[in-house]
Every structure is written in C-alpha cells, then in structure tokens.
Amino acid sequence: MESVAATPKYNLNDEQEKKLILREYRALLRSLKPKLKPGDKELMRQAFEMAADAHKTMRRKSGEPYILHPLAVAMICVEEIGLGVRSTICSLLHDTVEDTDITLDDVERVFGNEIARIVDGLTKISTIIDSSASQQAENFKKILLTLTDDPRVILIKLADRLHNMRTLDSMKREKQLKISSETVYVYAPLSHRMGLYNIKTELEDLSMKYLEPESYKEIARKLAETKRERTRYINEFIRPIKDKLEKGNFDFDLYGRPKSIHSIWNKMKKKGVAFEEVYDLFAIRVILTSPAEKEKEDCWKVYSFITDEYTPAPERLRDWLSNPKSNGYEALHTTVMGPQGKWVEVQIRTKRMNEIAEKGLAAHWKYKEGANDESRFDKWFQQIREVLSTQDTDSVDFLQDFKTSFLTEEIYVYTPKGDVKMLPVGSSALDFAFSIHSAVGSQCIGAKINHKLVPISHKLRSGDQVEIITSGKQKPNEDWLNLVVTAKAKTKIKDSLKEDKRKIADEGKYLVQRKLENYGAAYNQHNVDVLTAFYKLASPLDLYYQISIKSIDLKELKDFQLLGDRIEPPKTVKQAVEHKSDAASAVSKKDAELIIFGESSDRIVYNLANCCKPIPGDDVFGFVTTGKGLTIHRTNCPNAAKLMANYGHRVVKTKWVKNKEISFLTGLKIIGLDDVGVIHKITNLISGELKININAMTIEAKDGLFHGNIRIYVHDKEELDELVIRLKKLPGIETVDRYDTEAS
C-alpha cells in the first residue's frame, strides 16, 4: 500500500500538516491492531512522539515533513512484510540516531536493549573505516553483520529502501542513478533471498524506471495496449481448469498476473527477442486452501488436471514442493502450451505457501513456531556468519563475493552418503569440497560426479552426487580463485595463498633491511612505505614478495635522496611523469570540447570507457578512476550497477555538448537472410546514402543466414539511431543491435 505521504504536499499550513501526520499514524495503528498486546499502544505512542519531535524541523527533498518517511516505512513493514510491534517501533526510530540529537542510550533507556540493537544496526557507519574503500560496501557489510544477529534489521532496511525508491522523483538525476544501481545490485537480490517476491519485483521495476527510462516506458506502454486481449486470453485458458477444480471439490483461487516489466525486459535481452515474442508474458496462479497433511498431494492433483488439459514442456517443471528453496519458497511451476499456440506458466501453491512467498521471512517465523526443524534460513544465516567471521578482505570484493555466494539461486547436490548440500548456481566441484571442510577443499585434486571422474573446475548441476578425491601433497594456487564462486572457498584460498606469500616474502624483508642499511637509511615503516609507493605496489608484503621472486632488485635505490635516515623518492622521475600528463592533455584538448560537468560547466579532460563505448547522446555518467582521471560510462553499461553501487561517491554528473567535428567508434551486429546483394544494400546505405565512415566489417554466412559485425564512426546517438531504423527497413534484415565491448 502506497503511503499517503508519497504525494508531496508542499503548500500545507502547520495545522494541516499536523492532521496529515496524525492520520498516517492512526492508519498505522489500525494496521497493527490484530498484533497489539497490552502496553504496546503506549510504547508505539512513545516511539512516534520521540521520532516526530526529533525530526520536527526536518523536511524531505519533496518538501514534506520528514516524519512521514519513518511512518511510511513502518506501514510497509506491517502491511507488506508482516512484521510486528517491535519492528514497527524500530522503523519509526530508524533515522533518529543518525540524523538527530537522540542517542542509542536514549533509545535503550526507553525501549530496552533489543530495540536499541536493531536501531543501531539500521544506523549507517558514520566514521568510515578506510576512505578508499567504498562507503556503500562498508555500510552494507555492517548491515549484514547485524543480519545474522537479528534479520529484522534487513527487513526494515528493505522497507526503507522501497519507500525511498517510490519517492525518488524529487531527487537529482545522479542521485537517482546511484540509488537505483545500488537497489538493483544489492537490495532487490536481497529481498528475493528473504522471500519477498512482491518487493523484489517492485524494486527492480522502479530501478529500471530510472536506469532504463526508454525501455521501461516502451514495455509499460505495450503492456497497457495488450491488456484487454491478455485478459480475454487468460479467461479462455482458465475456463476448463476451473470446471475440473470445481468438480473435484477443491477450495481454490485462480487468477492470471502479468510478468513484471523488469523480467520481460530481462527475457528480451537474454533471448534477444522482441516484446511480441516473449511467450510467457503472464503466469496463472492456482492457490489452494488445503490441510497441512494434504498440501503436497493436492498440488500434484491440480498439476495432473492442468496437464490433462494442456501439454506441458517437460523441461520446464520446477518442483519446489519436495525441495523448497532456501528462502522457504514452496510451489509447483510448469509451463504448458495453451490455446493459439502460446506458452503459459502455471504456478500451483497453497494458502500457507502463498503467504510465505509474499511475506518471506516474517511468514516463515509465524509458521515455524512449534516446528522443531532447523530451517533453511537458519542454515543460510549460519553460512553467512562463518564467512563474516573470517573476513578481512576489502569491502568491495566482499560485496561481490557475497552477491555470488548468497544472493543467487541455488542448486542441490548430494554427498556420497546422500546428504543434501545447497550451493549457489555456478558452483564447481572445488566449491563443494570447501563446503564440506576447508581441509578437504585445500587438498582436493579431483572429484567423482555420479561416479564419473571430473576435474576440480567441473560445474555442478542440481541433483549431482559428488565425491571428492584428496591428496596430502595438494595445495591451493592462484588459479583456484577463478574456479570457485562461494565466499567460503574464496576466503580460504586467499588465506592459504597469503600464508605461502608470507613465507616467500620473509626472504625479501631481510633483503630490504640489508639494502636500506647499506645505503645509510633506517629500516622503518616510513622508508618501506616510500619504496612500496615508488614501485606502485599495494602493500609492504607485495614489495617483499616481488623482491623475493626477483621481480624487483632495488637498484633504483641509488637515485633516492637521503634526509637523515629517511629516504625520499627521486625527483627526476616525478617531473617526467608530470611532463607526460601535459602532453596527454594537449592531445585531448579537442575531445574535451565535448562534455560539461556538474553545475559549473567546466570542460574537462576525460576518456571513454572501453566496456560500453559511449557516444554523444547516450545517457552517461562520469566516474573518477584512480590514476586515470575521469572515465565516461553509459548508464546501462554492464559495469554501471557495480560501479555506482560500490563507489557512488566517485560518480559525477555528465552531459554532452553538441560537437559535430569529432566522430566516435561504435559497432552494429546485423543478422538477416543471406540473400543476393544484401551486403551491397547495407554498405550502400551506410557509406552512400548516410555518408557514415566504415572502420571494419566482417560478414559470415551459414545455412542461409548471415551474421555481420560492422564498426562505424558516428557523431552522436541520433545519427546511430537513424542508421539502425533505416537498416531494419531493408528487406531480409532480422535484427540490428549495437555492441560496445572491446572484444567484439
């Protein structure tokens, strides 16, 4: 439910604002009513008054009173996540310690230790651990540390993020990009992992609205246009199934729902198809009211009714009844061939399963009371705890590892004794070995999968039975890091490599000491740091290691200056470097005409990112790279989400200035029918009619189809768009797509 506060009320007087705030507060109390125990109402009032008073002088970007935000977050916690009174109090207070004069001690004094701990978990890190590490990643790490103490921290955080995304319109464009990237990179996968599918979908759609505005509007428009015909189709599809269920005396709900904009867009990208060809634009849901002991049986009965009526695609059956996902999701999914030759996805689940699917973790607790099995959530938290406790890596690496280990879908594999292990998709036999024990992982030399010998790099599939083969002589090496995806395996391999590196580096340490003393300098921290910086290495350990393996021999030491017993780097090298950068800026003077930054309209030297090859007219942002100055990326660059989510503080607002003198290299991928003269038509259009320079062209024809890659120089996006439209009109041309990677 969208909070009333989401629509900015700029021109209200104090009296009206007070009324609005009270109305929101009363709505919140009404929602909580079934959960209120004696004394709770009093506590709620204290929390509300404490927050309202603390935020009384603050306003949000949209101009509305700040307290409406905590109220809206609390409402999401109650209505959409199903949390209770204590979580609601925490949501009301979630910004007070960070933004106002209230301290954690105040919160603890009034509300006790448990609530103070959650509020602390929600308070971002104020003192940043290491300025070069990304603040975002650090904050996130802190949230995860509290997650394993009390998962409610994450659930409130997700509610906070959802309300921020719903009210993102009043933010500046670069803020919108940064927040949306972070959302799609971390918070959407996290809500999926917490089993909150509706929230995950809404977060992805809202992020896309800001990151890919054109595609978003286009798909939304097409969905609206096809709504009537979709509804007609769903009704036709449902009719025979409804009859069967009624005859079988089932108590059920049956309805269709369109797929989210983001998932349709993902399908279009992944499969390279147009909107019209995304076959399962909608899913049909059957929700049964069934007693606990008959749930499974009833779901399978309904499955047989549906597949009697429509033919299923056997490879698309997903049975999460026998093996629920680790976030507790249970259901039966199948895709069947419906009328008019359209594929339709059908999801079958019971009321209880549906509540778990929509309310995730919170519903899971509700049903867990009294059950004594250790839940999959608990196992998942245990794994996270294990990794966090041994974590000394840089936060950004950590965030990347966390994403691949804990936020992807999982597969189930079996040990030789038949125990089930859950691993993220993409895991190798080596990941499995480390999941059993770090000693087994470190000594792994191969594996038998379903009794067949495979290398340690072998990717596992759901249902594999895996036996690990070890040897006392084996030990991890650098290449292993590319063979694993789980955080546990990565951490253990890095630890082992560090240990080896330390042993080798000891020799180098002794050499550095001897050389410095021979030169008349002291062996101390300052001098070692100067040498490390001079050779552009990350740490003294790397310096010692490079010297041990003879990559560096310190012969440059003779050029250093000696001040007492301290060394200073040689001046000559520095000047050479500065001189070089002058030359570089002279070369790019002409390019620099192109871009205006920030508010001050300065023209700045920059370079274009190779990963996405931006051209004028693309939606872009500037990114300050260490050592390379400013790099321009497209906002839909494959690396954009990662950069903006991790290093938001280095993102600079950027826009283009028209400049017709400079052309930019970009590429098009063309697929079509290999007809006579088709190549001539293409080149004639590009160079003859549109006068665009071709830089390179490769065409491969096979079995009546041709694949062409053409690299061209264009001035801006308008010119490129015009070319794409004209190419698509040529007879026999199937698809025309821009590609940007260096590799292509």
- Residues acting as catalytic residues: 98-99
d(CA 4, CA 617): 37
Nearest Cα to 344, choosing from 268, 255, 245, 410?
Answer: 255
Residue 460: DSSP 8-state: P
Cα Rg, the chain, nearest whole Å: 30
CA 98 to chain centroid, in Å, comes to 25
Q: How far is CA 665 from CA 365, 609, 720, 739, in A?
A: 56, 12, 11, 11
d(CA 553, CA 546): 9
Three-state SS string over 413-449 comes to EECCCCCEEEEECCCEHHHHHHHHCHHHHHCEEEEEE
d(CA 734, CA 273): 11
d(CA 671, CA 707): 5
Helices 395-406, 376-389: axis angle to 10 degrees equals 160
For the record, the structure tokens of 13 come out as: 């007087």
- Kindly list the strands in the beta sheet with 602-603, ordered across the sheet, starting from the edge strand earlier in the chain: 602-603, 595-597, 651-656, 620-625, 629-634, 606-608
3-state secondary structure of 654: strand
Amino acid at position 184, single letter: V
Nearest Cα to 151, choosing from 199, 190, 201, 189?
Answer: 190
Beta-strand relationship, 452-454 and 705-714: unpaired
d(CA 616, CA 661): 12
- Which residues have CB under 8 Å from 653's CB, separation 6+? 172, 173, 174, 597, 598, 621, 622
- Which residues have CB under 8 Å from 648's CB, separation 6+? 134, 135, 136, 178, 181, 182
- Which residues have CB under 8 Å from 83's CB, separation 6+? 77, 152, 155, 156, 362
Q: How many CA atoms lie within 13 A of 228 on its CB side?
A: 1
d(CA 266, CA 636): 13
For the record, the structure tokens of 253 come out as: 């709900």
Residue 689: DSSP 8-state: I
Nearest Cα to 263, choosing from 275, 252, 255, 251?
Answer: 275
